[in-house]
Every structure is written in C-alpha cells, then in structure tokens.
Amino acid sequence: MVDLSTQYLGMTLKNPIIAGSSGLTDSVRSIQELEKCGAAAVVLKSIFEEEIAFEYEDILKKASKEGLNLSQFDYYDFHVKSEKLNRYTMLIEECKKAVSIPVIASINCVYSHEWTSFAKKLQTAGADAIELNMFFLPTEFGRTSEEKEKAYFQIIEKIQKEVSIPISLKISYYFSNLGPMIQKLSETGIAGLVLFNRFYSPDFDIDKMEAVSSNIFSSPADLSISLRWIAIMVERVRCDLAASTGVHDGVALIKQLLAGAAAVQVVSTLYLNGNSRISEMLKILERWMEEKGYGCLADFRGKMSQAKSSNPAAYDRVQFMKYFGGIS
Ligand SMILES: Cc1cc2nc3c(=O)[nH]c(=O)nc-3n(C[C@H](O)[C@H](O)[C@H](O)COP(=O)(O)O)c2cc1C
C-alpha cells in the first residue's frame, strides 16, 4: 500500500485531491458526498466581498473616526449583508460537525475595506483555513500595476491581523511580472498559493449581438499554464503550492505532483464526470506509484520542477519556433 498523504497549509491531508471552491461545495450534503468519494479537503464556495455583512453602525463609527470618505461604502447593500455572512458561518459550523476532512473557507476580495474583520468570524465558526480568492481585472487604466498589486499585500496583512488559522491565496496569472510577484506573495507569511483561478469570460452571440457566457468548465488542455508555473516556482517560494485549473484526471494529478504541487484542486472534472472521478484519479495515482516503486508522495514530488529538470530551458520557452515543422 502506498501512502498518499500530503502536507498542505500545515494540515495533513489523506491524499492530494481537494474539491475546489464552486457550487459543489456550498451545502453540507454535497460536501459529505465529496468526502465519501475521497476528497481530502474542501474549499467552500466563496463568500463574495460584496455579500459580506457590514454592521452599519460599526462601519460608520470606524470610518468617521479614521476620517474616511463615507461615499466609498455606497456600493454595499447594508440590508442583506449580515444574513449572508450568518448563513456562511452556519455552513462552516455544520460542515465541521458533518465531515472529518478539513474545511477551507473562501473569501472573494476586491477592496481592502473594513470587511476583513469578518475573517475572524469564519475562524470562530471552525474553518480550518481561509483561501483568499483575489482578483482585479487589469482594466483600470488610471491605476498603475504597482498600485493594483499593492492591494494584495494590504489585504493579506489585514487578514493576518485578524486570524491565526492558515491563509492561502488563490490568484490569476494576470500580473505584469508574474514570477517575482508569486515569490513576493509567498514571502508574506501566507501558508499557500493556489495557481491559478479560472474566471467567467464573455463570448459573443453573433446572431443576437449579445455578450454571453463562454465555456464555464475548463478542459484538460488548460492544465499547461498552472503546470508550468508550479514547476517554475516550487523551489522559489516559501509556501505550499496547490494546482488549480485543468486537473481532470489521474495523469494530470501525477503531472502536478511531479511539478511540485502539494495538492490539486478539482472542480470542472467533478461537474463533468461526477464525484467518483476523485477515487478514479486516486487509483491511477496509486497504480502509477506502485509501478514506479514510490512509497509516498515525497519520493517523487517536484522531480520535474524546473530546478530539478534536465532541461530547465524548456520551462522558459514560449515561442513555437521549429516545433511544428511541416505545419504551416
Ligand atoms: C460553477 C463554478 C463556480 C465557481 N465558483 C468559485 C468560487 O466561488 N470561488 C472561487 O475561488 N473559485 C470558483 N470557481 C473556480 C474553481 O474553483 C476553479 O478554480 C476553476 O474552475 C478551475 O479549476 P477546474 O479546472 O478544476 O475547474 C468556480 C468554478 C466553477 C466552474
């Protein structure tokens, strides 16, 4: 029997497959189902910053004390917020009673306003860790990339002051200088980075002349971006790396572990193939490890990282050049 356990965010997971944040992780029943099918942890559906409760009085008090411009809070609908947060903390509490795998709460962050203090409520509710789902689409032409990137560090710092449970950060690859940015983020004291989130993207309906949703689910071909960056960054960061996007089967799981991932997060493949996909992936991993004579993940994790590769230049190569000789 091979040992599939892994360390992620300071926790021991029974295997490296985490059910990522999505509609599949927004109820106790579906989380129990995921546990039954072998998921080693779950990341709850994100609570979106815009949904987070604001105790109106507190906010106003704090804001006026700090001389803040109150108009910046206008976009919050103060009436619905506290109910949403309560529902989220209840979900955490109920999940903690119903399953024995770690439950990671997820917050979607846009601005670093006072809402960060609510992170403590997620910890109190029993969350084992908090994943910050952070992303600003770089379409604000009036702000420099430095200004936008600073917000990441501000939010991390604020949340770190609020909670003592591990914090991970789920990011996109839209950064002006991705490698150094990942490295700097890993040095903030966070426990993990999730590379990468995948977003809703618009498509066009050319008959109706309307913007519509493009593919909601990833495809196996989407694996390559996170695979490359996990492999490049794993020896350069000071925290765990989890792979997200395009992990659809056991082979993709093995590749991400070889790149150096501590764990993978899966979503699309569960929507497309059902939760039983998790046990199928684990069986493929187990069989492969047995064939190769590996007893545990540490025996091969990161074996194909850029630092350990016999051909590190391949990871930096971006132009096709000679590769498609014959194809024009
Ligand atoms: C229907 C759906 C809902 C999602 N909701 C969230 C969310 O609330 N928070 C989040 O961080 N990611 C969310 N994601 C992104 C996934 O967690 C994941 O990062 C992305 O789908 C890429 O992984 P995959 O290739 O395994 O699907 C969602 C994805 C899907 C398909």
pLDDT, tens digit (0-9, with 9 covering 90-100), for 197-209: 998 888 999 999 9
Q: Is 165 exposed, middle or buried (0-12, 13-18, 19+ CB in 10 A)?
A: buried
Q: What is the phi/psi pair of residue 309, to 5°?
A: -75, 150
Ligand 1 pocket mutation pick from 21, 44, 225, 255 by most atoms within 8 angstroms of CB: 21
How far apart CA 222 and CA 206 sit, in angstroms, is 25
Q: What pLDDT is stored for residue 318 in this prediction?
A: 74
What is the percent of the chain with per-residue pLDDT over 70, rounded to a whole number? 86
Band of the pLDDT at 78, cuts 50, 70, 90?
very low
Question: Residue 323: pLDDT above 80?
Answer: no
Any atom of ligand 1 within 6 Å of the Cβ of 25:
no
Average pLDDT over residues 135-150: 84
What's the pLDDT band for 117 if we cut at 50, 70, 90? Answer: confident
Q: What is the pLDDT of residue 199?
A: 85
Question: Does residue 217's CB lie within 6 angstroms of at least one atom of ligand 1?
Answer: yes
> For position 200, what pLDDT does the model report?
83
Q: What is the mean pLDDT of the chain?
A: 89
Measured distance between the N- and C-terminal CA atoms of the chain, rounded to whole angstroms: 49
Distance of CA 239 from the midpoint of ligand 1 (Å): 22
What pLDDT sits at residue 326?
A: 58
Model pLDDT for residues 256-272, shown as the tens digit of each residue: 999 999 999 999 999 99
Measure 198 CA to ligand 1 centroid, in angstroms: 6
The confidence band for 58, taking pLDDT boundaries of 50, 70 and 90, is: low
- CA dihedral (253, 255, 257, 258) in degrees, to 10, reads 160
pLDDT bin (cut points 50, 70, 90) of residue 113 is low
Is the distance from the beta carbon of residue 23 to the nearest atom of ligand 1 less than 6 Å? yes
pLDDT tens column, 213-243: 888 999 999 999 999 999 999 999 999 999 9
- Taking alpha carbons only, the member of 128, 136, 104 closest to residue 244 is 104
- Which atom from ligand 1 is nearest to the alpha carbon of 197? 19
Measured from the Cα of 170, ligand 1's closest atom is 11
- The string of pLDDT tens digits covering residues 16-29 is 999 999 999 999 99
Instruction: Read off the pLDDT of residues 271-319 as tens digits, 9 standing for 90 and up.
Output: 999 999 999 999 999 999 999 999 999 999 999 999 998 889 988 887 7
> What pLDDT was estimated at residue 228?
97
